[in-house]
Structure 1
Amino acid sequence: MRRALLLIDVINDFMHPNGKNYYPGYTSVLNCIREVLELARDANWTIVHVREKHYRDHHKDYEFEKLPLHCMQDSWDIEWAEGIQVLPGEYEITKRRYSAFFETDLNLLLREKSIEQVVVVGVKTHVCVRATVQDAFGWGYRPLVIKEAVGSNHAHLHEASLEDIQRYMGQVISLDEFRALITNGSKGG
C-alpha cells in the first residue's frame, strides 16, 4: 500500500510555549511527530507539511467569526516548529480551513502519487486532524492516526475524536504499532 504522511499544523502557534494556541501536552506530541517524520522519511514516503495561514486585512474570513485571529501570514506563528523542516522532495500545503483537503490541491497531489493511505499527525485532534481524516475517508483514502502524535487542549474531545475516527473513518494505532508497520517494510509514496 502506498502511504503518505500528513503533518497538520506542526507550527509555532501550537507547538512553541510562546504560541497563542500552545498547550503543554503538545511537547510530547511534537517529540512523537519528529520520530514519525524520521521513520517516514527513512521509508521514502511522500511527506506533506500542512499549515494554516490566514491573510492579513481580509475581513471576511469566516473562521474569525468563530475563533480569534490566529496563524496570520508572514508571522512567526506559522513557521514550522523546532525540529520540523521541509526537505527537498517534500511538499507544503497551505490551508485556510480545518481540513487539509478543503480548497487545496492535496487530493490532486495524493492522486498523482497513487497514495492509498494517509497517516495523519498534528493538532488539534478534534478540529483540523479530525476534519482532515474525515475528508481523507470521503475521498477514498485509508486514514491512519498515531494516537501519541496528535493532541488537543480538550482531553474529552481528543478521546471522542479518536473513538470516532477508529469507529467510522480509519484506524488509530499506537506509536509502537507504527514502528512495527515501518519495520515490516511499508511501501512509501
Structure 2
Amino acid sequence: MPYTIDSIDPFRTAMIVLDMQNDFIAEGAPMQVKQASAMVGTLSDTLGFCRTTGIKVVYTAHVHRRDGSDMGLYDEIVPQIAERAALVDGSPGAQIFPGLSPAEGEHVIKKHRYSAFFATDLDLMLREWGVDTVVISGRTTECCCHATARDAMFHNYRVAFLSGVTGTVDYLEVGQGGLSADDIHRTTLAILARTTAHVMTAAEFRVLAAGEPSV
C-alpha cells in the first residue's frame, strides 16, 4: 500500500525548497531545468501559503568552492561543475532565483551533495524546531528531491512530496537509453509513493495543512 499522511500540523512541519537557484531556473542558465522554471509561480504561491499558516520554509543551495575542496566526484559527473561554469559558491548563479527569494529570517543551507541532509545541519535545525514532517519541493525530482526525501525518511520524518512543484530534465542517451523529463518525473513519483513519501499535489497539501478546499 502507498504511504499516507492523514493530517499535517503546520507548527511541526517544514517546507524544504531544493536548489531553486539561478543556474537551474533562469532562462538560458547553464543547467536550466525547464520543468522547474515553469513551476516558479505555483511554488511561490505554495510558499506564501506556508508562511501564512506557520509552516517553516528552508531553502537549500547546491554549491561548490571554486578550489574544488568540497567537490567529491562531481568533477567527473557534471561538466558544468567541472568547468566551474555553474554552482560556484558566492557567484550570482548560485543564488536563489529572485522569484522565490527567502523571506526575512528564512535560512539557505549550502549543500555539496544531492541530499540536503548530507554533511549539513538541516536535521539539527528541524529537531530544534520540533518538526516531524517535511514537505519536498524544488529540483530535481529523481536526484536532489528524491535523495532528500529518502534521507528524511531515514531520519524518521514523515515526508510529503509535492508532485506539481518538483521537476526534472530529459536524460540523454549514455548507453542505457534516453528518458524524457515527464517519464523520469512520473516514475520517480511512483517509486516514492510506494517506498518513502506521500506524493500529493499542492492543493492536497493545503487541504491537509489548513483544510482549504481542493481546486
1:65 maps to 2:108: no
After TM superposition, the score normalised by the length of structure 2 is 0.81
Spell out structure 1 runs of 4+ moving beyond 4 A: none
Counterparts of 1:64-143 in structure 2 under 5 Å? 64-68=75-79, 69=81, 70-143=86-159
1:145 maps to 2:156: no
Residue in 2 aligned with 1:37?
Answer: 47
Residue in 1 aligned with 2:193?
Answer: 166
Identity %: 29
CA-based RMSD of the aligned residues comes to 1.5
Which SS does the other structure have where 1:64 is aligned?
Answer: helix
Q: Output the amino acid matched with 2:19.
A: D
C-alpha contact (below 8 Å) 2:24/2:33 kept by paired residues:
yes
C-alpha contact (below 8 Å) 1:39/1:182 kept by paired residues:
no
C-alpha contact (below 8 Å) 2:33/2:139 kept by paired residues:
no
Shift of 1:85: 1.6
Bigger Rg, which one: 2
Which SS does the other structure have where 1:51 is aligned?
Answer: strand
Count residues with an aligned counterpart. 185
Structure 2 CA distance for aligned equivalents of residues 12 and 24 of structure 1: 12
Query: How big is each residue's C-alpha offset from its partner over 1:47-89, in whole Å with a ceiling of 9 and x where there is no partner?
Result: 1011101000216532221112131112221111122222223
Shift of 1:128: 0.2
C-alpha contact (below 8 Å) 2:40/2:100 kept by paired residues:
no
Residue in 2 aligned with 1:8?
Answer: 18
Structure 2 residue runs without a partner (length 5+):
1-8, 170-180
Q: Output the amino acid matched with 1:150.
A: T
Structure 1 CA distance for aligned equivalents of residues 156 and 168 of structure 2: 26
Shift of 1:183: 2.9
Shift of 1:179: 2.5
Which SS does the other structure have where 2:100 is aligned?
Answer: coil
Q: Which moved more, 1:19-28 or 1:143-152?
A: 19-28
Structure 1 residue runs without a partner (length 5+):
none
